Amino acid sequence: MGTRDDLAEATLETLPLTVAVLDSTGRILLTNRSWREFNPDDDDHVGVNYVATAEMGDEEGDDEHARRAVEGLEAVLEGERETFSMEYPCHTPEEKQWFLMRASRFTVDGDVRVSVVHLDITDRKLAELDAEAALERLREQQRNLEHVLERIDGLVRDVTDAAVGAGSRSEIEHGVCRELADTDPYVLAWIGRVDVTTRRVSPREWAGHREVPLENDELVLSSDESHPAVQALREGEPRAIQDVAEFDHADHWWPTGAGDLFRSVAAIPLEYGDVTYGVLVVFAEDADAFDERELLVLESLAGTVSTAMNAIEARRMLTTETIVELEATIEDPSLFVTALATELGASVTYRGLTYDKEGTALAVFYVDCTGGVEAVAADLDGVEDATVLSEYEDGTLLELALSDGIVTALADHGGVIQRFDAVPDDRVADLALQLPNGQSARSVYDLLEERYDRTELISYHESDRPTRTLRDVAAELDSKLTDRQEMALRKAFYADYFEWPRGVSGEELAESMGVSRSTYHQHLRAAQRKLLEELFAVDPTSEG
């Protein structure tokens, strides 16, 4: 039997668990090596009442874990339960530790004994805590995502309602700024438009903290390049500053007195196709508010706003004839008009534009020289073909078939060329356009600046004119035609002079008016010219 006890004691000594055996009163009868090594003063605690020691820890520190241990041990010692286990922390200044205590009741020769085992579960506990922390982070992310989705859904709905339900562009701008400023984390929003003539961005509508004035000065596109609004307009992409406090140039464009009201700012261009309607600028209270997801949301909202603005403009164009008259000079030797004037040493005057059945632009120019004009024009870049329509004593009427170049681009923007002339000495082309709205004018001017060496805006005039009716055209034509011109035109029309074969000759019409044949044709051609001027809006004072 002694051999068996020796074996059990030796085995107990090698266990990596701290083990103590108690008698029925709670006194320690036996401990193993792990127990003694864990004790700082290398005491085996044999003879010490373990339960009483635990009670003292409870009294001194009001330790909930000690109280539970005492209650559990007493229940096992008194036979109320066979086992008891609990987990408890046992931290030191150097590290955090957790243990599992397990007490089991047994008897030896009729005497009650209780084994108390302490197992180090620190690694498992740390893993559990890490898992719980990760789970809480996931829950927090889910809550944040749900909040973001709810906020985005409400924001998109409110901004869309404000944009689609507006009756004017100003109403759209005001409603969108108000909705954005009322949505966390935004605190201020403004929408700016670009003045083509001054190259300045002017805030037209804004909403947010009323005690904060907006930028004192307008933004100049050519100089305020640090401002995200200017960057967004120039590059056609959203731009954001995540921490304004660390931005070197922020003092040049902060709203005066902003203080701590905002820390980050984003700017999104308002574009529909090739037309730029302005820029949306949004401020947030916190730094790093405009991450990639937030910018995508704002970019989507900007698309909705731009679409609504385009619809407003389209509806307005159905009821009014919006006219923007723009004049500019283009200095670039590669421009075909300038190159033609330089090569021929002659002035080139624009007469009109049409298209063939393949859609190729056919531009008609008058050149005040003769001989060799067709060959020179055909060799120019951008010219597919050149045809002489008519030659006069001192000039040539020339038709140029143009490839996909500036003339086609201007037409794509709704531009109607009024003048596109060049003289050989200036090496500069003069361009005059009529455009449907200010946005088209802005886009055209940007296009010219991008394509050519130097573009200078000479004049810009915008006006709304009522849509012309047939009665308006007839009244205008009536004011321009003389009585004899109108009579010549009506007689020719009523007598089927314009049919083929003709129902009447020019001599017969002239005789009916009591004038010579040449005088009649002079009246008729003058009337036809004025009629076509009304139709094609050709300047009657143009040369040639």
E-strand spans in 288-343? 320-331
Q: Whole-angstrom Cα distance, residue 311 to residue 172? A: 11
Q: Which residues, in sequence order, are CB contacts of 468 under 8 Å at separation 6+?
A: 321
pLDDT cut 90: percent of the chain above it: 17
> 485, 481, 506: which is closest to 496 by C-alpha?
506
Tokens 């090698």 -> residue:
14
Res 170: pLDDT: 83
Res 393: pLDDT: 85
Identify whether 213 is preceded by a cis peptide bond (ω within 30 of 0). no
Find the length of the chain.
544
pLDDT greater than 90 at residue 531:
no
- As a whole number, mean pLDDT of residues 378-393 equals 88
Res 109: pLDDT: 86
Res 342: pLDDT: 92
Question: Would you state the structure tokens that stand for residue 89, as one six-digit string?
Answer: 């922390």
Domain with CATH 3.30.450.40 in the chain: 151-319
Res 347: pLDDT: 93
**With contact defined as beta carbons under 8 Å apart, do 170 and 204 qualify?**
yes
- Could you say which DSSP state residue 97 is in? -
Which residues on neighbouring strands pair with residue 114, listed in sequence order?
22, 105
Question: Would you state the structure tokens that stand for residue 166, as one six-digit string?
Answer: 């507006």
- CATH of 470-536 given 2.60.40, 1.10.3470, 1.10.10, 3.30.420: 1.10.10
- As a whole number, mean pLDDT of residues 518-534 equals 86
Res 85: pLDDT: 92
pLDDT grade, residue 538 (50/70/90)?
very low
- Could you say which DSSP state residue 308 is in? H
Question: Would you state the structure tokens that stand for residue 533, as one six-digit string?
Answer: 């001027």
Domain with CATH 3.30.450.20 in the chain: 2-120
- As a whole number, mean pLDDT of residues 289-302 equals 84
Res 432: pLDDT: 92
- As a whole number, mean pLDDT of residues 171-185 equals 83
- Burial (CB count <10 Å: 0-12, 13-18, 19+), residue 433: buried
pLDDT greater than 60 at residue 495:
yes
396-402: strand order across its sheet: 383-391, 396-402, 361-367, 348-355, 416-422, 429-435, 320-331, 454-466
- Cα distances (angstroms) measured from residue 400 to each of 92, 258, 532: 93, 58, 21
Res 150: pLDDT: 60
List, as own/partner pairs, every contact residues 23-30 make where C-beta atoms lie below 8 angstroms and the sequence separation is at least 24, other chains included.
23/111, 23/112, 23/113, 23/114, 24/77, 24/111, 24/112, 24/113, 24/114, 25/49, 25/77, 26/50, 26/51, 26/52, 26/73, 26/77, 26/114, 29/113
The mean predicted confidence, pLDDT, of the chain is 80
Q: Please name the fold of domain 2-120.
A: Beta-Lactamase (3.30.450)
Helix 506-513, helix 517-536: angle, nearest 10: 100
Helix 517-536, helix 470-480: angle, nearest 10: 140
pLDDT grade, residue 13 (50/70/90)?
confident
Rounded to the nearest 5°, which phi and psi values hold at 179?
A: -65, -40
- As a whole number, mean pLDDT of residues 371-387 equals 90
Res 540: pLDDT: 37
Q: Whole-angstrom Cα distance, residue 286 to residue 185? A: 7
Res 299: pLDDT: 87
Res 1: pLDDT: 46
Rounded to the nearest 5°, which phi and psi values hold at 516?
A: -75, 165
Chain centre distance of CA 35: 68
The secondary structure of 340-362 as a DSSP string is HHHHHTS-EEEEEEEE-TT--EE
- We find that the CATH architecture of domain 151-319 is 2-Layer Sandwich (3.30)
- Burial (CB count <10 Å: 0-12, 13-18, 19+), residue 235: exposed
Res 529: pLDDT: 85
Helix 122-164, helix 169-181: angle, nearest 10: 160
pLDDT greater than 60 at residue 467:
no
pLDDT greater than 90 at residue 177:
no
Rounded to the nearest 5°, which phi and psi values hold at 411?
A: -65, -35
Q: Which residues, in sequence order, are CB contacts of 14 under 8 Å at separation 6+?
A: 33
pLDDT greater than 50 at residue 402:
yes
Amino acid letter, residue 413: H
- As a whole number, mean pLDDT of residues 245-262 equals 61
Per-residue pLDDT of 186-232, as tens digits, reads 888 888 887 766 677 777 777 876 545 555 455 666 666 778 888 88
- Higher-confidence residue of 451 and 160: namely 451
Res 329: pLDDT: 92
Res 27: pLDDT: 92
Res 377: pLDDT: 92
Q: What is the 3-state secondary structure (H, E, C) of 446-502?
A: HHHHHHCCEEEEEEEEEEEEECCCHHHHHHHHHHHCCHHHHHHHHHHHHCCCCCCCC
Domain with CATH 1.10.10 in the chain: 470-536
Res 544: pLDDT: 38
The number of beta carbons lying within 10 Å of the beta carbon of residue 50 is 23
Per-residue pLDDT of 305-361, as tens digits, reads 888 887 777 666 655 566 788 899 999 998 999 999 999 999 999 988 888 777 788
pLDDT greater than 70 at residue 364:
yes
The number of beta carbons lying within 10 Å of the beta carbon of residue 341 is 27
Mean pLDDT lowest for which of 10-14, 36-40, 254-258, 531-535?
254-258
- As a whole number, mean pLDDT of residues 446-471 equals 78
pLDDT greater than 90 at residue 5:
no
Per-residue pLDDT of 75-94, as tens digits, reads 999 999 999 999 888 888 88
Integer distance in angstroms from the first to the last C-alpha of the chain? 135
Q: Which residues, in sequence order, are CB contacts of 485 under 8 Å at separation 6+?
A: 523, 524, 526, 527, 530
- Higher-confidence residue of 166 and 287: namely 287
Tokens 């008729």 -> residue:
524
Question: Would you state the structure tokens that stand for residue 44, as one six-digit string?
Answer: 């085996």
- As a whole number, mean pLDDT of residues 95-103 equals 90
pLDDT grade, residue 146 (50/70/90)?
low
Res 114: pLDDT: 93
Question: Would you state the structure tokens that stand for residue 49, as one six-digit string?
Answer: 């009442």
pLDDT greater than 90 at residue 242:
no
